[in-house]
Chains A and B, each alone.
Chain A
Amino acid sequence: MANLGIYIEYKNNNFKKSNKEVLSFARKSGRDTFAIVFADDISAIKDELKGINKVVQVKAGDKKYQPDIYSETLVSIIREFELKEFIGINSATLKDLMPRVSAKLDATMINDCISVDLDNSKATKPVYAGKLLCDYKVIDDFKIFLLRPNVFSGEDAEGNDPEIVEKSLLDAEIKTNIVEVIQSESRKIDLTEAEVIVSGGRAMKSKENFKVLEELAKVLNAGVGASRAAVDAGYATPDMQVGQTGKVVNPKLYIACGISGAIQHFVGMKTSKVIVAINTDPEAPIFKKADYGIVGDLFKVVPLLTEELKKSL
């Protein structure tokens, strides 16, 4: 059986929650498992790595993510340990990094999997923005799968401590020169990984009005999203768009405020565990798709909800 590689996202002492899902998947895979972490100090996440056979720790020093160097280093580790199967989180970083690795190794890759069957070399992925699902068969010994966050179960780690192997970053010709990282004014919660999302549609009427949603989001530790109508009207920025030509999200709770529920929006959020809709129009299609609906003016309902949650959380 092939050795399974796992990319662990651990940066600035932030261990991404979805690492648990990828690690759980690996522990249950019946394979020899190799977790690769680019970090100088992994003592704080030792317990998370229990039950994995080997940890390859790449000491990166003060060098931040750089795709040419990271991909070169990862390719050499994958070759050395013969990691014919490889998994990671379907995150912005790995969507940038892993296709480079896939090209260099001539491995076959599938992003955004909601189910992976290593034994039968199959993966399921939403296509057409989630309007349809596709079962793919990979006819290749060498494969890489990225797992959609919040889909796979992330059980707590158990098992023996792994053996740790240290490596350092390789030198590589830098073709992509990262000049700077521009942080946003407020650190936004990443929608694709958020557990709760509060979204606004055309009925928000202005950019300023999104404050109402931000206040609710604060109480719920939620990300703030928007429909295409709200983005196109300039009420929200494109990175907030949920749906086709925007982000596909998968939170536990999705609260749609003043969103009618066009198919292009719905396909981007329908796998949310629970959908709440708030809309003045009782005929809005969103109510057919929501678990709980409230017919009413979002500018009245949302502040009430914020207050109620403040009291009870």
Chain B
Amino acid sequence: MNIFVCIKEVPDTEASLQVKDGKSINNEGLKWIISPYDEYAIEEALKLKEKLGDSTVTVISVGSERIVETIRKGLAMGAEKAIHVHAENTLDNKIVAKALSEAIKKQDDYGIIFMGKQAIDDDAYLTHIYLANYLNIPVATNVIKFEYNDNKAIVEREIEEGAREKIEMNVPCVVAATKGLNEPRYPSIMGMMKAKKVQIEKYELSDIGIDDNNKVEVEKLYFPPEKPEGKVLEGELEDVVKELVRLLKDEAKVL
């Protein structure tokens, strides 16, 4: 099977962010990673390849020249092929999904497309569903369990109140991963060596007929107001707990 994994480069979760020009984050000195949900997607793709044999895992990402390094991290985890859709400007979710769909359509054939349920920068939770719609294939979001049998993807997705939906989809389809699906592997030294040698297939937006007319524009990016420092209650535990309940009732009025 030709398995695809869509990934997005994001700032490291540990990074302390700074806003530049009021509209974007300051990239200087930032460490970049594969969005954590996309790492679950890569892991699941690799597991499927190992199960099926005779399969290829291709990572695909849309972004600037900088993301090539992040794409190589995906290769180092064990993907064999990579596609880079080059776009220096930030694109809205729909355009990204269209670009992904057009680049994937250029390939001979595609089976399951894995990706994270959202990227941890804009937290949009849209691209996977848009992609499936543009390819006219089924999609399961928020997937915590994945199996493949008889050319069908059988997944469990988290819904509300701790419940899960078990879904069966024909292949090709899009599977959007959430935390708990698996434990992503670390790239091996061997994997990193191999990754360096892979020729990344590159498309410009114009090659795949994509206009970059964003319908969503960032007007302002800013820090939320700080919470004022609270108070630590002191004294014997019994008294402190009584005081807390009183404060929650009378002062904060949340009980």
Contacts and interface: CB of A to CB of B under 8 A. Distances in A.
A7 interface: no
Interface stretch (B44-52, B103-111, B195-203, B230-238): B230-238
Interface stretch (A28-36, A43-51, A179-187, A199-207): A179-187
B19 to A, nearest CB: 7
Q: Which of B144, B214, B255 gathers the greatest number of chain A CB atoms within 10 Å?
A: B255
Most buried by A among B13, B219, B229: B13
Interface in A276-313: 276, 282, 287-296, 300-301, 304-305, 308-309, 312-313
A241 B179 contact: yes
Contacts of A245: 13, 36-37, 120, 179
B190 interface: no
B139 interface: yes
Contacts of A271: 224
A63 interface: no
Interface in A63-101: 91-93, 95-96, 99-100
Contact of B241 (A241, A253, A304): A304
A172 interface: no
Which of B92, B165, B178, B238 has the most A CB atoms < 10 Å from its CB?
Answer: B165
Contacts of A274: 248, 252, 254
A103 B214 contact: no
A253 B255 contact: yes
A305 B240 CA distance: 10
A15 interface: no
A166 B113 CA distance: 39
A248 B162 CA distance: 16
Contacts of B255: 220, 253, 309, 313
Contacts of A103: 94, 129-130, 133-134
Interface string B207-234: 0000000111111111110010111111
Interface in A255-276: 263-264, 270-271, 273-276
A287 to B, nearest CB: 6
A18 interface: no
Interface string B25-48: 100000000001100000000000
A127 interface: yes
Interface in B142-193: 142, 144, 154, 156, 158-170, 173, 178-180
B56 interface: no
Contacts of B168: 177, 179
Contacts of A122: 219
Contacts of A91: 160
B160 A93 contact: yes
Contacts of A130: 224
A136 B36 contact: no
Interface string A157-182: 00000000000000000011111111
B125 A134 contact: no
B160 A177 contact: no
A206 B232 CA distance: 27
Contacts of A154: none
B126 A138 contact: no
Contacts of A181: 159, 163-166
A292 B169 contact: no
Interface string A99-113: 110111000111110
A225 interface: no
Given A109-B126, A176-B139, A93 B215 contact: no
Interface string B116-145: 000011111110011001100111111010
A129 interface: yes
B158 A92 contact: yes
Contacts of A155: none
Contact of A96 (B36, B92, B141): B141
A30 to B, nearest CB: 22
B165 A178 contact: yes
Contact of A128 (B11, B129, B134, B252): B11
Contacts of B215: 108, 138-140
B130 A308 contact: no
A308 B237 CA distance: 12
B202 to A, nearest CB: 27
Interface of B: 11, 13-14, 16-17, 19, 25, 36-37, 92, 94, 120-126, 129-130, 133-134, 137-142, 144, 154, 156, 158-170, 173, 178-180, 214-224, 227, 229-234, 237-238, 240-242, 244-245, 247-249, 252, 254-255
Given A181-B166, A295-B234, A308-B241, 7 more contacts: A111-B126, A128-B11, A132-B25, A132-B221, A177-B168, A275-B227, A308-B245
